[in-house]
């Protein structure tokens, strides 16, 4: 048996959450980072690419934080997490005299210019006017989301500096947000930048509070429109500045569908953890785990590391009553082919393994499913946030799915919905399509083939939501739903 030279207990697979991993050990995070399909290279070198796309758990925050934390002579980057951003308070800054999402253009520019100013000033360039107005606006402690949404900026503030009149061509007792944005625009454009260096502002967490409400969808549409316009403006002015944003794919479906996605397609780099090969050991997911095993081995002094490390980590096969499959394939099929899921599964195996075990056995894989399956239910419920209510998600996973069984058809599902307490409004095929796109269910193309949205180049057929349609629940949920 070709095992690893180090017990599984001494391996580090990482954490499910990138921020936790960084807080624990920043250097270890950087060593273990794996760029699945050259997302970092593409987003930092291609001037028209400014969107990092991926489903929840695919590593958007990891990519964003890696760019910020990497020491590079080519760029300086600042990462801002908008997870706690107050969209309702932000909506009070909109301009009612503009159409729809353009109402948020000025407040978005205000926020983005403020953070960009902080990045530029951190480089210790001698732009006295920008530093003077920045300290007037934010004080010595700098920018924060709470300061940016302070009502005083909406009501107008005093800016008693002569250069302001020179920029605007007029003088006021108080200056409104539009005035401040214009001042910052001019000062940033005039900034003495190192032409050989790029300056990146990275925005993450915009989709943490995903909602169907118009104030949210308009704000996100305006954000995309604003950063697109600003980035083009920076290119036209030959300014080495770029605003980068990470977003979940399903945000596009919520805020405008395929038309919005097509509009920004050329500006996006999507994180992909699979490929078209039938050999799943060739997937970038295997490369990620292999990198983490290799880093653990190197830290323990092992220099000559031969063979496929993922194959050496796992027992060859997992066996059922009438089947057997490669252990790596089995683990992947319990997931939605995302790093977060795979790491969570291996963490469970890590906890269960005995101290001297150098290869994860079949028995541990089966045991790991108990807690992993509970984790997957929580993940799916989290991804459904903003699409359906918490009560609806709870009823679907706690009552409806367990009563349907591993496979079910369209009619059976909606019979259960019709008898439910919270889900009566979930009619039509949209909810099943959402389940499919999130990886909660697979769709029977025919009696012998199930199509999974996350496993292959999926083509959703017309009969997907017909009364004869048949579905299978993700196997990773079977333990939590008491199917196994």
Please check whether residue 30 lies inside any domain of the structure. no
CA distance 206 to 248: 9
Residues 248 and 365 in one domain: no
143 and 227 inside one domain: yes
Report yes or no on 11 lying in a domain. no
Q: Which helix (H) or strand (E) holds 391?
A: helix 390-395
Sign of the CA dihedral running 29, 309, 475, 482 = negative
Looking at the DSSP bridge assignments, the partners of residue 264 are none
Instruction: Show which of 347, 381, 415 is a domain's final residue.
Output: 381
Determine, yes or no, domain membership for 132. yes
Residues 66 and 185 in one domain: yes
On whether both 246 and 346 belong to a single domain, the answer is no
Q: Let me know whether 317 and 440 are in one domain.
A: no
Domain match, 172 and 197 both: yes
Q: Which domain holds residue 443?
A: 394-474
151 and 109 together in one domain: yes
- Please list, in sequence order, all residues whose beta carbon lies within 8 angstroms of the beta carbon of residue 166, skipping any fewer than 6 positions away: none
Are 344 and 418 in a shared domain? no
Digitized pLDDT (tens) for each residue of the chain, 484 residues in all: 588 989 999 999 999 888 899 999 999 999 999 999 999 999 999 999 999 999 888 999 999 999 999 978 889 999 999 998 999 899 888 887 666 667 899 999 999 999 999 999 887 666 789 999 999 999 888 899 989 999 888 888 998 898 999 999 998 888 999 999 999 999 998 877 766 789 999 999 998 777 778 888 889 989 999 999 999 999 999 999 999 999 988 787 777 766 777 778 889 999 999 988 989 999 999 999 999 999 999 999 988 777 899 999 999 999 988 899 999 999 999 999 999 999 999 999 999 999 999 999 999 999 999 999 999 999 999 989 888 999 999 999 999 999 999 999 999 999 999 999 999 998 766 899 889 989 999 999 888 889 998 876 555 555 666 778 899 999 999 999 999 9
Question: Which of 226, 246, 270 is the last residue before a domain boundary?
Answer: 270
Answer whether residue 147 is part of any domain.
Answer: yes
Q: Are residues 353 and 434 in the same domain?
A: no
The reply to whether 461 falls in a domain is yes
CB burial of residue 420 (10 Å; 0-12, 13-18, 19+): middle
Verify that 46 and 172 share a domain, yes or no.
Answer: yes
Burial 221-236 (b: 16+ CB within 10 A, else e): bbbbbbbbebbeebee
**Same domain for 328 and 221:** no
**Cα 399 from chain centroid?**
29
User: Has residue 366 been placed in a domain?
Assistant: yes
d(CA 56, CA 59) in angstroms, rounded, equals: 8
pTM: 0.90
User: How many structural domains does the chain have?
Assistant: 3
| Same domain? 402 vs 351 | no
Report yes or no: 79 and 70 within 8 Å, Cβ to Cβ: no
Q: Distances from the Cα of 376 to the Cαs of 249, 274, 391, 432, 471, in angstroms? A: 19, 19, 18, 18, 18
- Angstrom distances, CA of residue 423 to CA of 238, 306, 377, 413, 428: 53, 54, 18, 11, 12
* Residue at which a domain ends, from 219, 236, 270: 270
In a domain, 448, yes or no: yes
Asked if residue 189 belongs to a domain, the reply is yes
């Amino acid at each position: 048996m070709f095992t690893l030279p180090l017990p599984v207990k001494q391996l580090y697979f990482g954490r499910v959450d990138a921020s936790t991993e960084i807080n624990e050990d920043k250097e270890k995070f950087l060593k273990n980072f794996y760029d699945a399909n050259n997302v970092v290279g593409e987003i930092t070198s291609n001037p028209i690419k400014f969107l990092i796309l991926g489903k929840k758990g695919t590593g958007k925050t990891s990519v964003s934080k890696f760019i910020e934390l990497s020491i590079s002579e080519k760029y300086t980057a600042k990462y801002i997490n908008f997870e706690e951003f107050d969209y309702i308070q932000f909506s009070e800054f909109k301009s009612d005299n503009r159409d729809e999402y353009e109402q948020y253009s000025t407040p978005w520019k205000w926020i983005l210019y403020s953070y960009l100013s902080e990045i530029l000033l951190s480089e210790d360039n001698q732009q006295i006017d920008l530093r003077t107005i920045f300290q007037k606006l934010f004080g010595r402690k700098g920018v924060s989301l709470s300061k940016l949404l302070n009502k005083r900026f909406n009501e107008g503030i005093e800016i008693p500096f002569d250069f302001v009149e020179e920029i605007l061509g007029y003088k006021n007792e108080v200056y409104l947000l539009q005035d401040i944005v214009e001042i910052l625009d001019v000062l940033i454009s005039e900034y003495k930048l190192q032409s050989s260096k790029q300056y990146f502002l990275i925005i993450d967490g915009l989709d943490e509070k995903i909602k169907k409400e118009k104030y949210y969808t308009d704000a996100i549409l305006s954000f995309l429109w604003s950063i697109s316009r600003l980035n083009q403006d920076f290119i036209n002015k030959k300014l080495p500045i770029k605003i980068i944003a990470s977003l979940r794919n399903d945000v596009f479906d919520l805020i405008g569908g395929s038309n919005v996605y097509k509009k920004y397609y050329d500006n996006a780099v999507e994180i992909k953890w699979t490929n078209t090969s039938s050999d799943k050991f060739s997937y970038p997911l295997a490369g990620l785990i292999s990198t983490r095993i290799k880093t653990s081995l190197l830290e323990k002094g092992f220099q000559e590391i031969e063979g496929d490390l993922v194959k050496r980590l796992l027992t060859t096969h997992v066996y059922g009553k009438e089947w057997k499959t490669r252990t790596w394939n089995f683990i992947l099929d319990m997931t939605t082919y995302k790093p977060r899921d795979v790491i969570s599964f291996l963490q469970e195996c890590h906890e269960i393994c005995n101290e001297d075990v150098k290869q994860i056995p079949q028995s541990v894989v089966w045991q790991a499913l108990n807690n992993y399956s509970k984790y997957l239910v929580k993940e799916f419920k989290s991804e459904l946030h903003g699409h359906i209510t918490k009560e609806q998600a709870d009823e679907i996973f706690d009552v409806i799915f367990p009563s349907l069984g591993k496979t079910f058809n369209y009619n059976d599902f909606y019979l259960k919905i019709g008898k439910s307490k919270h889900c009566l409004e979930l009619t039509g095929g949209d909810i099943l399509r959402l389940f499919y796109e999130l990886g909660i269910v697979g769709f029977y193309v025919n009696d012998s083939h199930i199509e999974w949205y996350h496993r292959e180049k999926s083509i959703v057929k017309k009969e997907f939501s017909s009364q004869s349609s048949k579905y299978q629940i993700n196997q990773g949920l079977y333990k939590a739903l008491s199917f196994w």
